[in-house]
Amino acid sequence: MDGEAVTSFRGDLANLPTRVDMKSILTAEHFAREREQIFRRSWLPLIHTADVPNKGSYFVYDLPTLKTSLLIVRGNDDKIRAFHNVCRHRGNKLVREGTGCTRALWCNFHGWTFDLDGALKLVTDEQQFDDLDKSKLGLIPVTTEVWENFVFVNFDPDPRESLREWLGPLYDQYSGYFQSHQLLVSNRIILESNWHLGVNSFTEGYHTLYLHRNTARDYQGGKTNPERHRPYLELAGRHHRFSAPGNPDHQILPVEGIAIQYGRKQLPAFDFDCSMLPPGVNPSRFDKWGFDNVSLFPNFVMLNGNHWRAEMWFWPLDERRTMVVNRAYTYKPKNLGERLSQAYFRSRGRDVVREDLNTLEAQQAMLSSGAMAEVVLSRQETCLKHHYRVMETMLRQN
Amino acid sequence: MTASSLPAEFADLQPLVAEWALATERERAVKRIETDIDLLIAFHDAVLPRIHDIIRYFNQLPNDPDALAPPQKTLYHLAEMFMEAAAPVDLGWSSGDIEDTFPMSRFEFVKI
């Protein structure tokens, strides 16, 4: 077809499914297997190192998917550790919620006190306990590793792969990128939808022509790529990423022009100059680049742009409900005018995300009706095919 | 919020303050969504001729919204509201929100 851009595919493209049996995947039985064989065995990014900035900083992360709460703490040795957020005495939730900075962690029930490295330091009226070995009653650790700015955990007590192995080729390609942004906004949404549908919706660009026609009508593609084919799509181990095509013919709206004048281009206009970005961002160095979509299996999706990024987590509560965590980052503003510029793009981005979220409950309702079993996937939805292939592989492993 | 005064050089915008100088992202987002397009356009048109002056004014101040004096803070929120209200006006929507999108009320702004 005239004007049709060609996607450069990378990675293992063999045996990708073109249809996926969602009827089976949306069941409670299927999710029970996913919880144990996928979520309990995967490296899961949770927060940024900047979320626990100082020695003694802690962050409570409730993780309903694995029916627990984690306490993530930066120790006096600057090492970041994650623990189950439970007092070893009688199981009280040690820190109820939120963030803070402390010299030690103590339980408000009986005052048991733990060091920042998890060691049990003080037991109130200790002599009244028989056979108490404090060295065996430290906080229960969860395997934790840091990659770039991200704190990852793995609930497998003996992970089968290191985080470096898990991330594979992505590991060395993002040096410095995440440090160049700061958190602008974070929000959370509880969806009546299965978590896969969330991941799927945010890992293809096929929908952008139609779903976003009212909020970002000309932000991708343009005259030379009217169907908005992804210029680059890579299956990288269990993960995947693609580049979204910016639109060189994008019409800048009046206030958007003001926001650009006093700040930098962010979605829906894109700064095509990526010469300062590390090799993992716009990996093919596509000249009309909009942003990258990077999905770390199983449930984390990043949109990586020039001067901005977004992060989405899809945490299943059960087979039909999902907690979405959404964070937006931008370049560090050097004046208040840049902050006002960012306020414009934050609003535009929110409208796009709201459209993305808006199909998920309707899909859930109809797919769980049983009326149809299989969904049908195009080459522009290759990341979805890969997601389900990886899912099947992990579910088959012992 | 109370109708706080603006810095003297922006006193002409004072009639907009009580309704539009909203302090939080959620308030501004909801205000845009729930306001008729004619009123959004009127607000937009009232601020547009002054927005360059507003931004240049802020660029002379320290880069910290929390350090602004109350009249400056009010003006800053008004400018944030201008940015929030821009899309429906510039994109030619018939209301402050598009039809059939995910409800703003279900966003929980949290530190996570």
Structural domain harbouring A136: 44-158
Q: What is the pLDDT of residue B3?
A: 59
- DSSP lists the bridge partners of residue A83 as A71, A141
pLDDT in tens, A116-146: 999 999 999 999 999 999 999 999 999 999 9
Reference A26, options A275, A294, A355, A363; nearest CA is: A363
Q: Is residue A165 part of a domain?
A: no
**Does the distance separating the beta carbons of A187 and B109 come in below 8 Å?**
yes
Q: What is the pLDDT of residue A1?
A: 44
Distances A359 to A10, B40, B100 between C-alpha atoms, Å: 29, 28, 9
Provide, as residue numbers in chain B, all residues whose Cβ is less than 8 Å from the Cβ of A61: 112
Alpha carbon distance B87, A78 (integer Å): 44
**Does the distance separating the beta carbons of B107 and A189 come in below 8 Å?**
yes
pTM (two decimals): 0.95
- Provide the greatest CA pair distance for chain A: 83
To the nearest whole Å, the CA of B33 is away from the closest chain A CA by 11
**Does the distance separating the beta carbons of A254 and B98 come in below 8 Å?**
no
Q: Are residues A112 and A208 in the same domain?
A: no
Q: Are residues A24 and A87 in the same domain?
A: no
Q: Are residues A18 and A50 in the same domain?
A: no
Q: Is residue A171 part of a domain?
A: no
Q: Are residues A188 and A297 in the same domain?
A: yes
B/e letters for A167-186, b = 16+ CB within 10 Å, e = fewer, are beebbebbeebbebbeebbb
Q: Is residue A170 part of a domain?
A: no
Q: Are residues A188 and A335 in the same domain?
A: yes
Please compute the mean of the pLDDT values over residues A199-222 and round it to a whole number. Answer: 93
Please compute the mean of the pLDDT values over residues A29-54 and round it to a whole number. Answer: 98
Domain at A116, CATH number = 2.102.10.10
Q: Are residues A50 and A27 in the same domain?
A: no
What integer best gives the mean pLDDT of chain A? 96
Q: Is B83 on the interface with A (CB under 8 A)?
A: yes
**Does the distance separating the beta carbons of B61 and A336 come in below 8 Å?**
yes
pLDDT in tens, A369-381: 999 999 999 999 9
Q: Are residues A137 and A242 in the same domain?
A: no
Q: Are residues A185 and A327 in the same domain?
A: yes
Please compute the mean of the pLDDT values over residues A226-246 and round it to a whole number. Answer: 95
User: What is the complex's ipTM, to 2 decimals?
Assistant: 0.97
Instruction: Please count the structural domains in chain A.
Output: 2
Strand locations in A7-74, DSSP E?
A: 8-10, 19-21, 44-48, 57-63, 68-74
Q: Are residues A141 and A221 in the same domain?
A: no
Q: What is the pLDDT of residue A4?
A: 63
Please compute the mean of the pLDDT values over residues B27-49 and round it to a whole number. Answer: 98
Q: Are residues A123 and A48 in the same domain?
A: yes
Q: What is the pLDDT of residue A232?
A: 96
Confidence of residue B111 (pLDDT cuts 50, 70, 90): low
Please compute the mean of the pLDDT values over residues A350-371 and round it to a whole number. Answer: 95
Q: Are residues A141 and A271 in the same domain?
A: no
pLDDT in tens, A261-301: 999 999 999 999 999 999 999 999 999 999 999 999 999 99
Q: Is A207 on the interface with B (CB under 8 A)?
A: no
